[in-house]
Amino acid sequence: MKKYNRAGAQPQNMDVEALKKEAGISACSYVSSGMKVGLGTGSTVKYTILELGRRVREEGLDIVGVPTSIATEVLAKQQGITLCELDDLDGLDVVIDGTDEFDPNFHLIKGGGAALLREKVVAQSSSKMVVVADDRKRVDCLGAFPLPIEVTPFSHATTLNAIERVLDCSAAVRQGEEGPLVTDNGNYIVDAKTGPTITEPSVTEAQLLHIAGVVQVGLFTEMCDVVILAGLDGVSVLEKS
């Protein structure tokens, strides 16, 4: 594990937003000219996109980005980053994304931003996944953060009931301003309140994907290679062994 701070920084005096900015900017060290880059979604990876945009404009960084959400697409375009459809590329060199939780084996819970389906498609197409997070996201066992599950609107209550039976937990359809929140793909998100009990995330993922109405599950297993972690003692780089 590597640890470093930017010169002159005093992490113990930083607030959470400043720490997230540190992590987001640090992740840009994994990007160089000529790369095809997956651009994640979330409050921490936002700073990665802003820094990549600065490097494109001021340093001539030559990259092609694939956004994981409409919000990320809008931000990347504003920053002058060239974007492309994943279908037009032969895979990606790296994806940089956030997470809601990660465990000691680098398994993730994602989907707090309701972009888990596109995030997983992009992650599976990338040679390396770099995750940016603050140390509140580090857990011993996944599940304290409610597990997001993308489901079809058709008979979604039936799907929700099936999810509750499989996980033996309570679950609810995530709400927006005018009813169920609708993802960029036109689906709903069910948040399953399992508590920190997901000890075998690959098994849990397979069980949920067996339910016909489930489109995708916010468990990212065997995908993450690096976590850029911001904490009160600075920014740490955690690499999967």
How far apart (Å, rounded) are the C-alpha atoms in residues 241 and 229? 16
Domain boundaries, the chain: 2-137+222-239, 147-218
Catalytic machinery residues: 119
Nearest alpha-carbon partner for 114 in 130, 129, 128, 100: 100
Q: What percent of the chain has pLDDT over 90?
A: 84
Task: Give residue 20's pLDDT.
Answer: 86
**Which tens digits make up the pLDDT trace of 137-188?**
999 999 999 999 999 999 999 999 999 999 999 999 999 999 999 999 999 9
Nearest alpha-carbon partner for 142 in 202, 98, 79: 202
Average pLDDT, integer, range 205-216: 98
pTM: 0.90
Q: What percent of the chain has pLDDT over 70?
A: 94
Q: Are 146 and 191 in contact (CB under 8 A)?
A: yes
**Is domain 2-137+222-239 in CATH 3.40.50.1360, yes or no?**
yes
Task: Give residue 241's pLDDT.
Answer: 80
Could you tell me the pLDDT band of residue 231, with boundaries at 50, 70 and 90?
Answer: confident
Task: Give residue 233's pLDDT.
Answer: 81
Average pLDDT, integer, range 59-86: 97
Task: Give residue 232's pLDDT.
Answer: 81
**Hey, what are 164's tokens?**
């509750």
Q: Could you tell me where the DSSP H helices lie in the chain? A: 16-26, 45-59, 70-78, 116-124, 156-167, 201-209
- Tell me: pLDDT of 6 over 60: no
**Which tens digits make up the pLDDT trace of 89-109?**
999 999 999 999 999 999 999
Find where tokens 């030559």 sit.
Answer: 62
Of the CATH numbers 1.10.3720.10, 3.30.980.20, 3.30.70.260, 3.40.50.2000, which one belongs to the domain with range 147-218?
Answer: 3.30.70.260
